[in-house]
Structure 1
Amino acid sequence: MKHYRLVRRAALAGALALPILTSGCGLFTQEPSESIDPPQSSTQDVGGAIADVGQAANHAGETQMTVYLKDQNGMLAPVTVQIAMGEGEKAGKKALEMMVDGGAYNAELPEGFQAVIPKGTVIKDFNIVPDQKLAVVDFSKAFGEYNVTDERRIVESVTWTLTSMTDIQKVEIWMEGAKLGEMPVDGMPIDAPLTRSVGINLEAADGVNNYSQTTPVTLYFSALTPNNEMYYVPVTRLINRSDNRAKSAIEQLISGPSEGRELTAVMTPDVTVKNVTKKDNIVTVDLQDESFVPGQQEPAEMLQAIVLALTANTGAAKVQIKLNGQTDFTDTNNQSYSKPVSAPEHVNAFKS
């Protein structure tokens, strides 16, 4: 407890084998309104928005996009990159090209992160079906040449990267002009369009024995780059079935990362969740924290992780955080939480 409080006062500066789950018949089958971690289309709205997490600057002629890369611990994390877009280039195709291991953009990836699409892969075609919000990507034969341990990671990376774009909610994978019903090496089923319900960095909570009786929650913990820059790592954790997914997600956030994961907790274990409610596309979380001192800035890492988790698990556009019933506080980045805030459109933007 003392250790956690010391970390708190410092503003928190600082693989489980599961069965294959598919969007068509697996444990993550849900109604569309309950999809995991719907991307936020904009951070501009009344009531404020958290500034994009990171320090990357906007450069003339370049655009920001989010790609999911493997970190030094083997986990996928969103990374905001600056990239020049040529006339007529498609953002989705460009993002995938950046994710080819050893590809043309390898030198532009931040230290400590690696692309996961197999070496030599060419994105032969990329199209969006607008009325279905479906991205159809056709890879070359080299896409099927990877280690079996990377299969799920590749699916998750491609799916979460493309669905971070506002006009894409589903992904279909082809290879050499033919639609794939399963992944080439270990046969992971991908016959139905892929959504974020596939999960990311999948794990099960302690005490979970029957995976068919679980609720998936998406959590955000932190890690450090080789340059000691903090970044967020999303984790899909299977918990025993819950009728209040949002409240359960924050409780899991408080319980911290699983043992063996190279992740850091973003909340102290003495915080409790009184209630989580949703109304008019705003989710409100009421937290009890005995260490809360009015007028003292709260750790930005903690508050941002709460916002990321709640927008991920509820689909709400904004989050109102209450600490001991109060909203009149700021974080260590001077962000005010007196009004509901929206999640950043891009996270993990590292210094260039």
Structure 2
Amino acid sequence: MVRFQFLRRRAAAGLAVVPLLLAGCGLLGGQEGKMAIDPPPDFLAEEETWTGSGSGSQAGAGSPDSQTPDGTESAVTPVTVYVKDRGGYLVPLTVNAAAASAEEAGIRALERMIEGSESWALPEGFRGVLPAGTRIEGLAIDRERRVAVVDFGGTFTDYNPQDERRIVEAVTWTLTGIADVDGVELRHAGEPLREMPVDGFPLDAPLTRAVGINLELAPGASYGNSMPVTVYFSALSDEGAPYFVPVTRLVERQEDQAVAALRELIAGPARGAELAAVMTEDVEAEAVTVDGDTAFVDLKDETYAEGQPLPSEMLQAVVLSVSENTGAEKVQIRVNGSTNVIDTDNRSYAEPVSRPEHVNALKT
């Protein structure tokens, strides 16, 4: 069996994916019944750089180290794929793949999303979302329109109706993580799809991340009068390593989408979800302003003392959530008006930090 390990990740300003360290109250507070999570012994401490990226992984560039079957030089490049965890959530996993182009990187990513794929074994607790036997017949990127066109074959249409939206979300978020891709068009056996083949999900326009991911309705909200916000909660792998899970929550319409997202991040996962909160309800989201490529986040917590280390995972979740909802490449976090913010790895957030290109990196 292939053994996978989650990599620790460090930002340009010093971020690392570490377990939740929530104890006490406020920004450092935990939830009743929750204990600090220690990483398993094989949890790696290798470093990776978090750099600016408005929409996720930038596949298609890397260092040459292999050749394709036709003898052309290939490159190892990180690709982020969206697969299903044991709780049924779509989760981004980032691995290295040999690809000579962005198109080939997209094909390699989709191949890894096929259930039972022989080209790549998933970690324990994760499953592919494309039906077993699916073939990726081709993928082209229209760079003028910034749209990836993917042609599926084989048993692509052999899935349960309840899995249709999950397939749409996973393919869309995977391919829009590639450089120069904002939208996705689907084909089957060479023919454009105007709707999904089983349950009729409409495909009359290119799919974008506006479709959401792991969609849920907030308490008190209605489908007819809501807006989406995407936030990042935490979950644990079968081996006890933490990973981020994006959730698009439909909330009551309001003026400031980024502040609304932070409030949902503070509210935590839905009741009964197999997800962990990264903040407590003692924290207040006061404001989010965007200036150029940077979003400025103002949090308030009366129990917080300046200079107290804050959980690394909490700060990373704020960066991911705010950048996802604003499109900002960098995020500056202020607590009680101060930028003197450090995390539990003693790394400073005094300057804006960049959104990571790759989330939940794995190493075989």
Q: What is the 5 A alignment of 1:304-319? A: 304-319=316-331
Partners of 1:78 and 1:348 within 8 A in 2: yes
- In 1, distance between residues paired with 2:327 and 2:179? 14
Q: Which residue of 1 aligns with 2:361?
A: 349
Check 1:298–1:3 CA distance in 2 against 1; reply closer, same or farther (3 A cut). closer
Question: Secondary structure of 1:151's match?
Answer: helix
Q: What is the 5 A alignment of 1:167-178? A: 167-178=180-191
Q: Which residue of 1 aligns with 2:112?
A: 98
Partners of 1:219 and 1:309 within 8 A in 2: yes
Percent identity, aligned pairs only?
A: 50
Q: Which residue of 2 aligns with 1:7?
A: 30
Check 1:60–1:326 CA distance in 2 against 1; reply closer, same or farther (3 A cut). farther
Check 1:88–1:226 CA distance in 2 against 1; reply closer, same or farther (3 A cut). closer
Correspondence 1:296 to 2:308: yes
Code of the aligned partner of 1:130: R
Q: Deviations over 1:273-306 (max 9, x none)?
A: 1211111221111111123222321101100000
Partners of 1:124 and 1:140 within 8 A in 2: yes
Partners of 2:57 and 2:79 within 8 A in 1: no
Correspondence 1:193 to 2:190: no
Partners of 2:95 and 2:363 within 8 A in 1: no
Correspondence 1:230 to 2:242: yes
Q: Deviations over 1:18-58 (max 9, x none)?
A: xxxxxxxxxxxxxxxxxxx950477xxxxxxxxxxxxxxx9
Q: What is the 5 A alignment of 1:61-210? A: 62-85=76-99, 90-107=104-121, 109-209=122-222
Code of the aligned partner of 2:157: G
Greater fraction strand: 2
Instruction: Note the C-alpha offset of 1:3.
Output: 7.9
Partners of 2:298 and 2:335 within 8 A in 1: yes
Greater fraction helix: 1
- In 1, distance between residues paired with 2:231 and 2:55? 14
What are structure 1's unaligned runs of at least 5 residues?
15-36, 43-57
Question: Secondary structure of 2:156's match?
Answer: helix
Out of 78-87 and 228-237, give the one that drifted further.
78-87
Partners of 1:128 and 1:136 within 8 A in 2: yes
Query: So what's the TM-score if we normalise by structure 1?
Result: 0.83
Partners of 1:11 and 1:301 within 8 A in 2: no
Correspondence 1:335 to 2:351: no
Q: Deviations over 1:256-285 (max 9, x none)?
A: 111121111010110011211111221111
Q: Which residue of 1 aligns with 2:73?
A: none
Query: So what's the TM-score if we normalise by structure 2?
Result: 0.80
Partners of 1:254 and 1:269 within 8 A in 2: yes
Partners of 1:7 and 1:13 within 8 A in 2: no
Question: Secondary structure of 2:297's match?
Answer: strand
Code of the aligned partner of 2:347: Q
Code of the aligned partner of 2:319: V
1:242 aligned residue (244, 248, 254): 254
Check 1:132–1:102 CA distance in 2 against 1; reply closer, same or farther (3 A cut). same
Instruction: Note the C-alpha offset of 1:255.
Output: 0.5
Instruction: Note the C-alpha offset of 1:103.
Output: 1.6
Say how many residue pairs are matched: 312
Q: Which residue of 1 aligns with 2:273?
A: 261
- In 1, distance between residues paired with 2:25 and 2:323? 29
Instruction: Note the C-alpha offset of 1:85.
Output: 2.9
- In 1, distance between residues paired with 2:244 and 2:140? 30
Q: Which residue of 1 aligns with 2:263?
A: 251
- In 2, distance between residues paired with 1:11 and 1:330? 22
Code of the aligned partner of 1:153: R
Code of the aligned partner of 1:104: E
Q: Deviations over 1:103-140 (max 9, x none)?
A: 22242x22221111111111111101110011000000
Code of the aligned partner of 1:174: R
Partners of 1:119 and 1:142 within 8 A in 2: yes
Question: Secondary structure of 1:243's match?
Answer: coil
Instruction: Note the C-alpha offset of 1:215.
Output: 1.2
Question: Secondary structure of 2:162's match?
Answer: helix
Instruction: Note the C-alpha offset of 1:70.
Output: 0.3
Correspondence 1:279 to 2:291: yes
What are structure 2's unaligned runs of at least 5 residues?
1-22, 39-52, 67-75
